[in-house]
Amino acid sequence: MYDIRLVKLVNGDMVLGKWNEEKGNIADPAILQTIPTQQGGMQMLLLPFGYPFDQEMTGEIELKHVIYQYKTVPEELKTKYLEATTNLTLSAPGGLGNLGGMGGGVADFSKFLKK
């Protein structure tokens, strides 16, 4: 299984990817963009780090560019990331219907963000 971690880069981008301490990088990075909702909440968009020029989650980011590492990553977010990088559909208790599709799909992760 992969060590999936959520980090913030020195430029402020939030990135989710496969952590590799030995190689000193994050492989197959995906960027998380927060989008405010009309109801006052927040949604998150999961896209390939190189979007719009890269349509797949490939590449590497060196760990020297990481300024912060989040303590936990929501399981739904990990599952959605793994589905996007492997092109497989993973099942989870309760389903993942509320997370939307990848590459433009929007999911409501406001319940995981502290106000």
Residue-wise pLDDT tens digits, 44-73: 889 999 888 888 899 999 999 999 999 999
Q: How far apart are CA 30 and CA 46, in angstroms?
A: 6
Class of domain 4-112: mainly beta
Buried b (16+ CB within 10 A) or exposed e, 59-92: ebbeeeebeeeeeeeeebbbbbbbbbbeeeeeee
Contact 55, 43 (CB under 8 A): no
Q: What is the pLDDT along the chain (115 residues), one digit of tens a residue?
A: 789 999 999 999 999 999 999 999 999 999 998 889 899 888 888 999 988 888 889 999 999 999 999 999 999 999 999 988 887 776 554 444 444 444 444 455 555 544 4
The whole-model pTM stands at 0.72
